[in-house]
Amino acid sequence: MNLSEFQQNRARISQELLTPYQGRWVAFSGDGRTILASGATLDQVENQLAALGEDPQEVFLERIGEPEDDIILGGGDIR
């Protein structure tokens, strides 16, 4: 796996495409171009990868945040 290639390709995946995966774990292909599996838990993702014959060591896992996960605090909110 090439981390630089993954990062470049992953950055090209639009937020719109990721919307159905919000709040879920996603397994991206090693090159970052394809979503191979998703689930509410890592166990679910690993089971899907096994069913596909994919090596879990050859994918990148990421939890896709939900809109409410993006909280921006102002200076007055930090204590």
Name the residue ranges covered by the structural domains of the chain. 3-65
Edge-to-edge strands of the sheet including 60-63?
35-39, 25-28, 60-63
pLDDT tens figures, 3-29: 899 999 999 999 899 999 999 999 999
More confident call, 73 vs 26 = 26
- Give the whole-angstrom CA distance, residue 53 versus residue 33: 18
Residue type for position 47: N
For the entire predicted model, the pTM comes to: 0.79
Instruction: Check if the beta carbon of residue 27 is closer than 8 Å to that of residue 52.
Output: no
pLDDT tens figures, 32-71: 999 999 999 999 999 999 999 999 999 999 999 987 766 5
| Cα–Cα nearest to 1, from 56, 62, 52 | 56
Query: What does the pLDDT read at residue 70?
Result: 62
Three-state secondary-structure class, residue 51:
helix
Query: What does the pLDDT read at residue 52?
Result: 96
